[in-house]
Chain A
Amino acid sequence: MNIPSVIIKSTILATCIFWLFTISKGFQIDMLLLVFLSIIPISLCCTFTILLTIAPFFWFQGKEASDRSYNRNKVVFNKYYPFYTIAIFSLCLYGAIKFSFANSFFISVFFTTMQSWVWFAKSNQ
């Protein structure tokens, strides 16, 4: 399982989504520096989220599921992903309603975690 690769891809995706939604409210060229600086906290968020909430499913459950690694990942994905999705969507929706100024953050969290699961499940094909 290539965790660094998933973290890098997730960071790029999260940064893109976050800034796409942020600049939709207005964009100035001076914001560019912030875009680059934001990669640091975003990558930290991605690393912690992936290591703490996604990777453990594959680490702890994967071995029991099947022999072939791809099938194993797929079994784990089909078993846990739906419930993870529903939980993360509910949390993000709550966050977006409660802290409306941080909508972009919660939207990027949702889509990045969703895609990270797919990358994880696809790895070791």
Chain B
Amino acid sequence: MKNISLLIGAFLFSILFYKQDIGLNLSLFSLLTIIILIIHNKNLFKKKSTIIFSIVFVITAISIFFYRSNLTIITYVVTFLTLIGNVSEQGSSIYVNWLNGFYTLIAAFFHRNLNTIEKDEKAIPKKKTDYLHLIKIIGIPLITVIIFIGLYKNGNPMFSELISKIDFSFINIQWLLVSVLGYYLLSNISKPVRVAPATTYDLNTGNSLNIKGNIAEEKLKKENQLGFILISLLNILIIFFIITDITYLISTNDLRASAFSNQVHNGINTLIASIIIAIIIILYFFRGNLNFYKDNKNLKTVTYAWIILNLMLIINIAIKDCQYIYYFGFTYKRIGVLIYLLLTMIGLFTTSIKVKQIKNFWYLFRVNTLTAFTILIVSSTINWDNYITYYNLNYAQSMDFNYLLKLSDNNTFLLKNYADRNDLTEEKKSLIEKKHKAYLIELKSEKWQEMKYDYFKIKKDQ
């Protein structure tokens, strides 16, 4: 039954993907994947985390059907690996899930080939197949016959004509190879495997720090002093930076895009460096026994102050970016800055939890990768091109029209509607018309496997 499901899956895989672009096929493949996983790992699908990852996987697959973009495809791949990794080991961290998922996808077949030998051998003592003899009785006659056909072909024109009439074109080898690839992939994911060293290490590593050896008071005192002075000086420096930055922001009237762009990008560069250094310094000082040192209160206070000041820096840049968006509209980079700022805020927040609750580095890594994963999924469910276009056309004080045209086809119908209802220049109208026509041709020429939601929109209009 299990092998039949893989064979049917391989056949469907070929139908869905042989010489096809991405579209509805990816959504259907996600269902196929889940069915195969459930058939082969029934018990694992009783756990909440596996069910949640399966739902998330289906959601990302549906997102691709509604608005295909690079972001949705990347998210689809990441959720796919997460689900497979979760089935292989349900208690591991998300980044270990990715590693296990990736390893399973590419090499589980070979891994299982070795690791199941011992078990099988103990269960049923199988008769050893003589592969060499098998190769001999099939390979040698076949090769010899082919060689002689080649020889006789040159010696006899009638025989040559007869041989050349043999037509194997009805066998589509490429289609068969895609089926074999499908079988290989589905067989790999049907019984997920683990990267043993990484998974074991992850499972054995908790989130909390423990006292290592004896607390050397004198050494810790010196380290505490160094940390306190260093972080206090950095606090003073960041305060000066924020004050001068706010003063500049209030006093300047320069509303040119280039000036805003410079400010935001310089601010982001400063922020990236500042946050990375901040987290490294905090991780360094709070890596071990200093967490348990009785006089570390002041050090902790200046650390929290520094985290708060970095948060203020983030808010300052967020305000600049929002102003930038208000005046000149959305772009992917400006949205990217906001997402980066959100991630940074969460990163700083989790760092403060690490200091307060005496957590280790792995805690930070686990929580932050999970946060990044969640944000990736949420952002993939948004049709960004459509939102950017809608906001820029209706609310932005000024905007770059060519930028909207260069966005993917996800905004084509919105642009067309806008062009029909508003008085645009002839040049702009013709550019929109060109994009719209090209998109309609593309949608109509797609096969059912490549179908997108927009196809139904044009069907409805006709």
Residues of A within 8 A of B (CB): 12, 20-21, 23-25, 27, 29-30, 32, 74, 77-79, 81-83, 85-86, 89, 114-115, 117-118, 121-122, 125
Q: How far is the CB of B244 from chain A (nearest CB, A)?
A: 46
A-B contact pairs, 30 of them (CB 8 A): A21-B177, A24-B173, A24-B174, A29-B146, A29-B149, A29-B150, A29-B153, A29-B163, A32-B146, A32-B147, A32-B150, A74-B115, A78-B115, A79-B196, A79-B197, A81-B111, A82-B107, A82-B196, A82-B197, A82-B198, A83-B195, A85-B103, A85-B110, A86-B102, A86-B103, A89-B106, A89-B107, A115-B110, A118-B110, A125-B117
Q: How far is the CB of A17 from chain B (nearest CB, A)?
A: 10
Interface residues of B in 152-201 (CB under 8 A from A): 153, 163, 168, 173-174, 177, 195-198
Q: Which of B102, B110, B115 has the most CB of A within 10 A?
A: B110
Q: Please name all residues of chain B whose beta carbon is closer than 8 Å to the beta carbon of A27 when the two chains form the complex.
A: 168
- The answer, yes or no, to whether B214 is at the interface (CB within 8 Å) is no
Interface residues of B in 98-153 (CB under 8 A from A): 99, 102-103, 106-107, 110-111, 113-115, 117-118, 135, 146-147, 149-150, 153
Q: How far is the CB of B15 from chain A (nearest CB, A)?
A: 18
Beyond A30-B150, A82-B198, A118-B113, 16 additional contacts (C-beta under 8 Å) are: A24-B177, A29-B150, A29-B163, A32-B146, A74-B118, A78-B196, A79-B196, A81-B111, A82-B111, A82-B196, A85-B110, A86-B103, A86-B106, A118-B114, A122-B114, A125-B117
**How many A-B residue pairs lie within 8 Å, measured between CB atoms?**
61
- By secondary structure, the A interface counts as helix
Q: How far is the CB of A74 from chain B (nearest CB, A)?
A: 7
Q: Please name all residues of chain B whose beta carbon is closer than 8 Å to the beta carbon of A29 when the two chains form the complex.
A: 146, 149-150, 153, 163
Nearest first, the 4 A-B pairs at minimum CB distance are A24-B173, A82-B195, A85-B107, A114-B110
Q: Are B114 and A77 in contact (CB under 8 A)?
A: yes
Q: How far is the CB of A54 from chain B (nearest CB, A)?
A: 13
Name which residue of chain A comes closest to B199, CB basis.
A82
Name which residue of chain A comes closest to B197, CB basis.
A79
- Beyond A79-B197, A82-B107, A118-B110, is A20–B146 a contact (Cβ under 8 Å)? no
Q: Please name all residues of chain A whose beta carbon is closer than 8 Å to the beta carbon of B110 when the two chains form the complex.
A: 81, 85, 114-115, 117-118
Q: How far is the CB of A79 from chain B (nearest CB, A)?
A: 6
Q: Please name all residues of chain A whose beta carbon is closer than 8 Å to the beta carbon of B195 when the two chains form the complex.
A: 82-83
Name which residue of chain B comes closest to A33, CB basis.
B150
Name which residue of chain B comes closest to A92, CB basis.
B106
Q: Are A23 and B117 in contact (CB under 8 A)?
A: no
Q: How far is the CA of A85 from the CA of B106 in the complex (A)?
A: 8
Q: How far is the CB of B153 from chain A (nearest CB, A)?
A: 7
- By secondary structure, the B interface counts as helix
Name which residue of chain B comes closest to A115, CB basis.
B110
Q: Please name all residues of chain B whose beta carbon is closer than 8 Å to the beta carbon of A117 when the two chains form the complex.
A: 110
Q: How far is the CB of A119 from chain B (nearest CB, A)?
A: 10
Q: Please name all residues of chain A whose beta carbon is closer than 8 Å to the beta carbon of B163 when the two chains form the complex.
A: 29
Interface size on B, residues (CB 8 A): 27
Name which residue of chain B comes closest to A30, CB basis.
B150
Q: How far is the CA of A89 from the CA of B115 in the complex (A)?
A: 21
Q: How far is the CB of B124 from chain A (nearest CB, A)?
A: 17
Q: How far is the CA of A114 from the CA of B114 in the complex (A)?
A: 11
Name which residue of chain B comes closest to A120, CB basis.
B114
Name which residue of chain B comes closest to A121, CB basis.
B114
Q: Please name all residues of chain B whose beta carbon is closer than 8 Å to the beta carbon of A78 when the two chains form the complex.
A: 115, 196-197
Q: How far is the CA of A121 from the CA of B107 in the complex (A)?
A: 15
Q: Please name all residues of chain A whose beta carbon is closer than 8 Å to the beta carbon of B106 when the two chains form the complex.
A: 85-86, 89
Name which residue of chain B comes closest to A110, CB basis.
B106
Q: Please name all residues of chain B whose beta carbon is closer than 8 Å to the beta carbon of A12 when the two chains form the complex.
A: 135
Q: Are A20 and B196 in contact (CB under 8 A)?
A: no
Q: How far is the CB of A6 from chain B (nearest CB, A)?
A: 14
Q: How far is the CB of B2 from chain A (nearest CB, A)?
A: 22
Name which residue of chain B comes closest to A23, CB basis.
B173
Which of B114, B149, B173 has a CB less than 8 Å from the CB of A74? B114
Q: Please name all residues of chain B whose beta carbon is closer than 8 Å to the beta carbon of A125 when the two chains form the complex.
A: 117
Q: Please name all residues of chain A whose beta carbon is closer than 8 Å to the beta carbon of B147 when the two chains form the complex.
A: 32
Q: How far is the CB of A38 from chain B (nearest CB, A)?
A: 14
Q: Please name all residues of chain A whose beta carbon is closer than 8 Å to the beta carbon of B197 when the two chains form the complex.
A: 78-79, 82
Which of B117, B146, B198 has a CB less than 8 Å from the CB of A122? B117
Q: How far is the CA of A20 from the CA of B195 in the complex (A)?
A: 31
Q: How far is the CA of A89 from the CA of B184 in the complex (A)?
A: 15
Q: Please name all residues of chain B whose beta carbon is closer than 8 Å to the beta carbon of A77 when the two chains form the complex.
A: 114
Q: How far is the CA of A12 from the CA of B196 in the complex (A)?
A: 31
Q: How far is the CB of B146 from chain A (nearest CB, A)?
A: 6
